Amino acid sequence: MAEMAVSDIDIVIAGTMKDINMLEGEMQEISEDELIEVFKIAHVAIKEQCQFQLDLAAEIPTSNPKRTYSHESHDEAVKAKVYELAMEKCKDVARMGLANKAKRTELFDAIKSEVKASYSDEELAVIGKFISPYFSEVKKKAVRWVMLNDRKRLDGRQFDEIRPIWAEIDYLPMVHGSAVFTRGETQSLTTLTLGGKMDEQLIDGATFKGTERFMLHYNFPPFSTGEAKPLRGTSRREIGHGNLALRALKPVLPDDNPYTIRIVSDILESNGSSSMATVCAGTLALMDGGIQIKAPVSGIAMGLITDEGKFAILSDILGDEDHLGDMDFKVTGTAKGITACQMDIKVDGLPYEVLIQALEQAKAGRLHILDKIIETMPAPRAELKPQTPRVEMFIVPNDMIGAIIGPGGKIIQGLQKETKTTITIEELPTTEGRVQILSNNAEDMNEAVRRIKSIAFPPLVEDGATYHGKIKSVKDFGCFVEILPGTDGLIHISEFSWEKVAKMEDVCKEGDMIDFKVIGKDPKTKKWKLSRKVLLERPVREEEATQS
């Protein structure tokens, strides 16, 4: 854990003796060459672990021969007919280059209906269950054949071409930051909310206990793919995509950021790469909210089609290309380098040559998308939006934290109530404390800062000096008065006036402002002794009046 805290790469890689087939991780803007080097280092360890498993299995007599899966039933005659009726028609649809997903789906469904219509109702009752899986198989092979042989994608793009991009910031003007990012038929509406220390997420995990100041939530409602079904709990897919987008943006957050940040991405339309749209929209929302990120981040999802020695690497894949393809490789990063990646391989691994080409093609696509983001918003706003709460943080001596809080929290609670702010104090591992103040306006913020700093860094009380202060409490023996913020003193009943005072309640009350003079410090209590009467004109006594 100590080494991971200073590492610039946190990545999990899985593979076989031959190839890499899965990875996920976050990085501090590393280059493509560095990522390839990571793969090679990891593969050495993977091979050792694979060999260990083989050696262990060799000691188990029942591990060989391998069992074969044989729980499916098939009808080769039906399969042959489906192939005969549907293959060329599916190829024709794939060649059309239709950008509209709904239109493609409609045409493929029409072919499937034609296949079903070639059978009688009696035949369908027996073999109907085979048509859907066989048709899906035909459709997949037809689309892949067109890509590998005609070199044409489903929507007519070139293999390295990115779908049209449209983006806009400040889409929801009353939130702290917002952006909408659309690429092809995939759209994310992302909002930014900024809060203080009290808004941090509490985490109590197996290896970590503390708080998290950056949260990203990804929502994928059914209507985004044209479906109508109930909204259930958050799915593993939403959690995984949200975590990938969070990892992508986390490295570019400012080191001195005082806010708790929450980004929410709502996918309004989806046809592939919605997690990467979240990264792009998240970057724009952060900049729209005035968060001074180190650099904008973009993301791209890469695909792969491979068969019989031929392969095609696809940039910015569609949902169908993800489903029908052999790889889903998501890469995010800045102009400087990669910040996060995730890859799943559906075939037997990925040779290094193909992986290198995929990374280089991903870089070109990522930079193209980054240019579109910069066109929309070249840099973060210089100022926060008016409706955004203001946060200020500063360091105070550790031994003054108690004075700021006061007995039973009386001082800090009073400050919050009087200045309409939220104040939190955090003890640091050093001999210091960190104060954070959250306020909705500058006037309240300035007053809270002034009063806390006057307590934490109090001016010295001068013996013999005259002050004007508030009576904090009234007792039978006198009253306690605030000399300076955080420092009180006692005016004894005998020092309040030249006339004899029977009850303090008769001559003063809590909250009164009075003038007084510091006349020393009590050697026992170490409290300052104050006097009001020394500032008043001494009345003439009767005997003095008679003599005069």
Residues forming a β-bridge with 10 = 26
The two three-digit tokens of residue 41, written as one number: 């280092």
pLDDT at 542: 65
Please, what sign has the CA dihedral across residues 290, 294, 296, 301? negative
pLDDT at 113: 94
Question: Could you tell me where the DSSP H helices lie in 120-268?
Answer: 121-145, 236-249
3-class DSSP assignment, residue 219: strand
Domain architecture of the chain: domains with CATH: 2-60 (no CATH), 76-150 (1.10.10), 390-456 (3.30.1370.10), 466-535 (2.40.50.140)
> Residues with Cβ < 8 Å from 449, sequence gap 6 or more?
392, 394, 437
3-class DSSP assignment, residue 295: coil
pLDDT at 546: 59
pLDDT at 547: 61
Helix (H) or strand (E) holding 427: strand 422-427
pLDDT tens, the chain, 548 aa long: 889 888 999 999 998 888 888 999 999 999 999 999 998 999 999 999 999 999 999 898 888 788 888 888 889 999 999 999 999 999 999 999 888 888 999 999 999 999 999 999 999 999 989 999 999 999 999 999 999 999 999 999 999 999 999 999 999 999 999 999 999 999 999 999 999 888 999 999 888 888 999 999 999 999 998 889 888 888 999 999 999 999 999 999 999 888 999 999 999 999 989 999 999 999 999 999 999 999 999 999 999 998 877 889 999 999 888 888 888 899 999 999 999 999 988 877 677 788 888 999 999 999 999 999 999 999 999 999 988 998 989 999 888 899 899 889 999 999 999 999 999 998 888 888 999 999 988 889 999 998 898 888 877 888 899 999 999 999 999 999 999 876 889 999 999 999 999 999 999 999 999 999 999 988 887 789 999 999 998 887 766 555 65
pTM for the full predicted model: 0.80
503/426 Cα distance (integer angstroms): 43
pLDDT at 307: 84
Rounded to the nearest 5°, which phi and psi values hold at 307? Answer: -170, 130
pLDDT at 543: 63
Whether the CB-CB separation of 169 and 288 falls below 8 Å is answered with: yes
163/99 Cα distance (integer angstroms): 9
Strand order in the sheet with 165-169: 165-169, 177-183, 186-195, 260-269, 214-219
Instruction: Give 236: exposed, middle or buried? Use CB within 10 Å, 0-12, 13-18, 19+.
Output: exposed
446/432 Cα distance (integer angstroms): 22
pLDDT at 37: 92
pLDDT at 349: 65
